[in-house]
Chain A
């Protein structure tokens, strides 16, 4: 299937090239984000009636996992407010070109951190406390504020968006799954970049800032680390940057060989299954263990969580591919073949989130009218009653997502196996077993 260049449409091109539409969205998002922090700290401690919980963990999460990631890849990162204050501080400007001399330390991130392991860890940290985080407004408020301040702090120490690129707990999996999205930002003609002087897309110019994501657009082959911030569209003097509509999962044809990304795939696959069991399952003892942070039961939960993600899932995978006849080192086969888990993991999250979001979406109406639980009724919907939506459609939709994900993953496995010249069967069987387990947990 061919790619369609969206930036050929003048309206889209102008909207992306101009700073103002994005800035307007940024300001609204930043205000919403700061309000969410405030709501978490001063609003009602009842999560289901507090703006911070309802808008972050129900509304934002639904949009992120059901729409933004599958269809727009890093589309969320394009409008995320977290890096903004730090970035504005770093540049000393909101719109104007930065000074020639950097205002702050502007260090390069040390080599050992230039991977997504820190993101894997920050995601796991939140994941292990997720039952508390998801339900307690002031914890959510504190975490949101911490992320904002961490982003500001990192901006003053390191160059570009160090937080987004190397620390953001959400950014890690958005990047991984954005490879499946039908949207990409790429250069049009390689030759133009080779001969381009000064590379303003990476180094910045009067027209805009050098890539905040520390990526040279000319070398982009996959979506993972491109934050869709659109700066390069503004800086490229040769009009060589395009945003394309492309077939789903185009990036997965060239499997990654990085262990941090491979483990990210296992972390996401495993946490989706664990959440499905703990949060949506009928086992109260598991919920207690996950919620009562600091107790023996919780430590057991943490140990089990980590064991499933780092030992059981990758271990079984390794055993499965051990006997594939190949001269390539096992590590490389492991990393390449785990690419197959990316679409499956994404669809696991879609299936899990469908249940959670459809059940609790009606809280959005209440929280919209009374965001702090102070008895307001801004839009007349404060007394909307809790009502699960589309409960009869849920199970078929989940099956569709999971079986669809399985087909998608099996195809990806075939391609990845073709790249490293082994049989895809063990990986497909692995995906099939995982899917059956997830079906059993959800249905």
Chain B
């Protein structure tokens, strides 16, 4: 065999081995976290180990559509996870525990199922006392009907309420606001000389005093990112997935025998005063934290901080009151 034949064979074999071997080697050394729509598997892997005090470096990519990444109950800006691109992120944990990471950009009806956990091991310097949540300490039944028997004719006005409130014996504290539904407050005002609509205006004022503009802005943002796809951008329960949920509910009714009250439902209409004015902030907190248990309403407890939930609650009431 002559030299040129040998050299060309060598070049061909080396070239092929390199073109296969080098990318394969680099590929095997790049552990990626893959994001897919929940129907196609969600996060992979969905359990990540980490240690307190050691920065956790993650490389995340999306295999289909736009997703986002954030860790629940942590002070962090969510990052976008784009199809075919790699997002680098570094996380630091100072407390051990099990954290939930979740998708932050809507990616279909089952978007909220796209969750995973980060198991952080290590010891914590200052163990935080577990604070009891309001809806738990009030012992509220989250699934009991809570409709307000009486509703106002129009949207109650906080501005009018403020003028009326000055000489009324009314508790403006956060504790009182959080543990009472608008209807309960309305009812407690029945001893006064005010007309019904005036009483509703006072209720609106009470709600307004417990709502800052910052919390409304935060609440609005959280609502748009997490709730509006089902509950509708205007709170009317007519989000883009509302019909899909109803359809999914109908089909699940046939499979979930004996659990008729726990099947998928249409999303709640926050502009419905009967429903909203009969619910206390604590009740709403509980519903958001726990989720709808099979109704299609996700469980947000592992994701939102307590403050974020109060912001969200404050925003949801703004569908009822004229601030």
Give me the interface of A with B, judged by CB distance under 8 Å. 23, 27, 30-32, 34-35, 38-39, 42, 44-46, 48-50, 88, 93-96, 366, 370-376
A to B CB contacts below 8 Å, 26 in the list: A27-B15, A30-B16, A31-B18, A32-B19, A34-B16, A34-B20, A35-B19, A38-B20, A38-B23, A38-B24, A39-B23, A44-B63, A44-B84, A45-B64, A46-B83, A50-B84, A88-B12, A93-B5, A94-B12, A95-B4, A96-B2, A370-B86, A372-B27, A373-B85, A374-B86, A376-B26
Taking CB atoms, residues of chain A closer than 8 Å to B86 are: 370, 373-375
Taking CB atoms, residues of chain B closer than 8 Å to A370 are: 84-86
Q: What are the 3 closest A-B residue pairs judged by CB atoms, nearest first?
A: A49-B84, A375-B86, A46-B84
In the assembled complex, the Cα of A216 lies from the Cα of B86 at a distance in Å of 54
Contact status of A27 and B24, CB under 8 A, knowing A34-B19, A95-B5, A375-B88? no
Cβ-closest chain A residue relative to B86: A375
Please tell me if the beta carbons of A375 and B30 are within 8 angstroms of each other in the complex. Answer: yes
Contact status of A46 and B23, CB under 8 A, knowing A94-B9, A96-B2? no
B11 contacts the other chain (CB 8 A) = yes
Give 9 new A-B contacts, CB below 8 A, not counting A370-B85, A375-B88.
A27-B11, A35-B23, A38-B19, A49-B83, A94-B5, A94-B8, A94-B12, A373-B84, A374-B86
In the assembled complex, the Cα of A375 lies from the Cα of B61 at a distance in Å of 9
A341 CB to nearest B CB, Å: 39
Cβ-closest chain A residue relative to B83: A46
Contact status of A375 and B59, CB under 8 A, knowing A30-B15, A42-B23, A96-B2? yes
Give me the interface of B with A, judged by CB distance under 8 Å. 1-2, 4-5, 8-9, 11-12, 15-16, 18-20, 23-24, 26-27, 30, 32, 59, 61-64, 83-86, 88
In the assembled complex, the Cα of A371 lies from the Cα of B85 at a distance in Å of 11
- Name the residue in B16, B24, B26 with the highest tally of chain A Cβ atoms < 10 Å from its Cβ: B16
In the assembled complex, the Cα of A411 lies from the Cα of B15 at a distance in Å of 48
Taking CB atoms, residues of chain B closer than 8 Å to A93 are: 5
In the assembled complex, the Cα of A211 lies from the Cα of B97 at a distance in Å of 72
B42 CB to nearest A CB, Å: 15
Cβ-closest chain A residue relative to B63: A45
B26 CB contact (under 8 Å) in A34, A50, A374: A374
Taking CB atoms, residues of chain A closer than 8 Å to B62 are: 46
Cβ-closest chain B residue relative to A377: B86
Cβ-closest chain A residue relative to B26: A374
In the assembled complex, the Cα of A266 lies from the Cα of B216 at a distance in Å of 64
Please tell me if the beta carbons of B5 and A373 are within 8 angstroms of each other in the complex. Answer: no
- Name the residue in A93, A366, A371 with the highest tally of chain B Cβ atoms < 10 Å from its Cβ: A93
Cβ-closest chain A residue relative to B62: A46
Contact status of A49 and B85, CB under 8 A, knowing A31-B15, A44-B63, A374-B32? yes
Cβ-closest chain B residue relative to A51: B23
In the assembled complex, the Cα of A96 lies from the Cα of B2 at a distance in Å of 8
In the assembled complex, the Cα of A71 lies from the Cα of B86 at a distance in Å of 40
Please tell me if the beta carbons of A31 and B19 are within 8 angstroms of each other in the complex. Answer: yes
In the assembled complex, the Cα of A436 lies from the Cα of B219 at a distance in Å of 56
Contact status of A95 and B27, CB under 8 A, knowing A38-B19, A49-B84? no
In the assembled complex, the Cα of A98 lies from the Cα of B19 at a distance in Å of 28
Taking CB atoms, residues of chain A closer than 8 Å to B11 are: 27
In the assembled complex, the Cα of A31 lies from the Cα of B12 at a distance in Å of 8
B90 CB to nearest A CB, Å: 14
Cβ-closest chain B residue relative to A84: B12
Taking CB atoms, residues of chain B closer than 8 Å to A30 are: 12, 15-16
Cβ-closest chain B residue relative to A367: B84
Taking CB atoms, residues of chain A closer than 8 Å to B16 are: 30-31, 34
Taking CB atoms, residues of chain A closer than 8 Å to B20 are: 34-35, 38
Contact status of A373 and B61, CB under 8 A, knowing A44-B84, A94-B5, A96-B5? yes
Taking CB atoms, residues of chain B closer than 8 Å to A95 are: 2, 4-5, 8
B160 CB to nearest A CB, Å: 50
Please tell me if the beta carbons of A42 and B88 are within 8 angstroms of each other in the complex. Answer: no
In the assembled complex, the Cα of A383 lies from the Cα of B1 at a distance in Å of 48
Please tell me if the beta carbons of B23 and A48 are within 8 angstroms of each other in the complex. Answer: no
In the assembled complex, the Cα of A23 lies from the Cα of B83 at a distance in Å of 38
Taking CB atoms, residues of chain B closer than 8 Å to A48 are: 83-84
Cβ-closest chain B residue relative to A383: B85
Please tell me if the beta carbons of B19 and A42 are within 8 angstroms of each other in the complex. Answer: no
Please tell me if the beta carbons of A46 and B63 are within 8 angstroms of each other in the complex. Answer: yes
- Name the residue in B19, B20, B30 with the highest tally of chain A Cβ atoms < 10 Å from its Cβ: B19
In the assembled complex, the Cα of A96 lies from the Cα of B20 at a distance in Å of 27
Taking CB atoms, residues of chain B closer than 8 Å to A50 are: 84
Taking CB atoms, residues of chain A closer than 8 Å to B12 are: 27, 30, 88, 94
In the assembled complex, the Cα of A371 lies from the Cα of B23 at a distance in Å of 10
In the assembled complex, the Cα of A371 lies from the Cα of B19 at a distance in Å of 12
Taking CB atoms, residues of chain A closer than 8 Å to B9 are: 94
B49 CB to nearest A CB, Å: 22
In the assembled complex, the Cα of A370 lies from the Cα of B27 at a distance in Å of 12
Taking CB atoms, residues of chain A closer than 8 Å to B30 are: 374-375
Please tell me if the beta carbons of A42 and B24 are within 8 angstroms of each other in the complex. Answer: yes
In the assembled complex, the Cα of A96 lies from the Cα of B3 at a distance in Å of 10
In the assembled complex, the Cα of A30 lies from the Cα of B24 at a distance in Å of 17
In the assembled complex, the Cα of A49 lies from the Cα of B8 at a distance in Å of 33
Taking CB atoms, residues of chain B closer than 8 Å to A88 are: 12
Please tell me if the beta carbons of B1 and A96 are within 8 angstroms of each other in the complex. Answer: yes
In the assembled complex, the Cα of A370 lies from the Cα of B59 at a distance in Å of 14
Taking CB atoms, residues of chain B closer than 8 Å to A27 are: 8, 11-12, 15
A82 CB to nearest B CB, Å: 14
In the assembled complex, the Cα of A349 lies from the Cα of B4 at a distance in Å of 42
Taking CB atoms, residues of chain B closer than 8 Å to A371 are: 23
Cβ-closest chain B residue relative to A35: B19
A97 CB to nearest B CB, Å: 10
